[in-house]
Amino acid sequence: MNQPTGTNPDLSTERTWQAAVLDSRDYLVMALDPHGVIRSISAGGLLQLGYKLEELRGKIAPAILFEPREITRRARRLSEELGENIEPGFKVFVFRAQQGIPDEQEWNCVRRDGSHFPVRMSLHPQRDAGGEVSGFIAMARNVSDLIRARKDLSDRETQLKVAHARLAATTVTDELTGMKNRRAFNEHLEREFQRGLRHHSMLSLIFANIDDIKGYNAEYGHHAGDELIKMVSEQILKDTRSTDYVARFAGDEFAFVLPQTDREGAMIKADRLRESIESSEWPLRPVTVSVGVATMTEESPVVQDLTNSRTLISRARDALFEAKRTGANRTTHFREITKDGADKDGQAEQA
């Protein structure tokens, strides 16, 4: 189909597109001379900046539309990259463009009222018939929405990480006391147990239980009982070494993993714990604990009849129950209740 003389649909479409870009509030298009002096600015750009064209024409763009400190920072960075001194000024904006290197950077434009808005800007050299640079076209797109979206995404990622951390903490933390819970304790003990097997190192386990918690609950109520468990846990944590691992195992029962600790060391620790609870001030009545201890020595697990970490738990709890059976407020080691005595730790029923 023949087109009317003097018309070109492709050219018309291009001009319509160019006009839309120039009028858009999202774009700031500037025509600059070789030294950065403003020749013209798009209508959309003027709306964003809050200026009239006559207020800007003839002014040096970097001096009026950009933050001096930002230009200085960019000049310093560019100087470091190139290994030569680049003075703060228009050269910072056009250095790469003059070399024919595509370059788009984020800048903060300064409005007439002193407020700022972020843009992504590229500069394109315009050349005369002799190939000399006769000016530059600066194309800048307002990226305020992009920056906000980026910040929102970053904030959400941070919130998600915090939520994941809290969720992870709840899976290993006892809600009442803030101590590690039974699941975390079992996992930690298994790691230490396997390490002890590999390196033939000692490992001791302590179980402590508040004496007559049922009577306490009956006299003062379950809420008071929970408060007592919290107070006892705080006292325990206060007396615990950083190398020891302590958890609320169940109800009013607390468990400790003591790596590199022999029977004597574990019994000293257990007695100190028991004495600390007994001598502390308690709001309603005196409080005591019974304590059971079991130890994995440097001997072969076969010699010790230790098949797994659950066996060690069972032995420590058996010692705890013996301490309670024989009067409470006592510390008992599993070896004290075995038939074989000092020859070996015996075999306890697995938990």
**Domains identified in the chain and CATH numbers:** 9-148 (3.30.450.20), 173-343 (3.30.70.270)
253: Cβ–Cβ under 8 A, 6 or more apart, which residues? Answer: 207, 208, 209, 320
What's the whole-number mean pLDDT along residues 214-225? Answer: 95
> Which one-letter amino acid corresponds to residue 332?
T
Enclosing H/E stretch for 124: strand 116-127
pLDDT of residue 243: 77
pLDDT reading at 239 higher than 90: no
- Contact between 335 and 345 under an 8 Å Cβ cutoff? The reply is yes
What's the whole-number mean pLDDT along residues 246-253? Answer: 94
pLDDT reading at 77 higher than 60: yes
pLDDT of residue 350: 34
pLDDT tier, 235 (very low <50, low <70, confident <90, very high otherwise): very high
Residue-wise pLDDT for 132-190, tens only, equals 899 999 999 999 988 899 888 888 988 888 877 777 666 788 889 999 999 999 999 99
Distance CA 224, CA 115 (A): 59
Distance CA 86, CA 76 (A): 7
Q: How far is CA 324 from the centre of its chain?
A: 44
Query: Vertex 338, ends 335 and 339: CA angle to 5°?
Result: 135
pLDDT of residue 258: 94
pLDDT tier, 344 (very low <50, low <70, confident <90, very high otherwise): very low
- Contact between 204 and 262 under an 8 Å Cβ cutoff? The reply is yes
Q: Which of 46-60, 173-187, 204-218, 326-340 is least confident? A: 326-340
pLDDT tier, 346 (very low <50, low <70, confident <90, very high otherwise): very low
- Bridge partners, 332 (sequence order): 292
pLDDT reading at 110 higher than 60: yes
Task: Select from 141, 193, 195, 129 the least CA-distant residue to 25.
Answer: 141
pTM: 0.52
216: Cβ–Cβ under 8 A, 6 or more apart, which residues? Answer: 210, 224, 225, 228, 284, 285
- Contact between 261 and 251 under an 8 Å Cβ cutoff? The reply is no
pLDDT of residue 111: 95
pLDDT of residue 343: 40
Average pLDDT value for the chain: 86
Distance CA 75, CA 91 (A): 9
How many C-beta atoms surround the C-beta of residue 240 within 10 A?
17
Residue-wise pLDDT for 259-294, tens only, equals 999 999 999 999 999 999 999 999 999 999 999 999
pLDDT of residue 123: 92
Tokens linked to 322? 């013996």
CA dihedral of residues 49, 53, 58, 60 (deg, nearest 10): 10
pLDDT tier, 73 (very low <50, low <70, confident <90, very high otherwise): very high
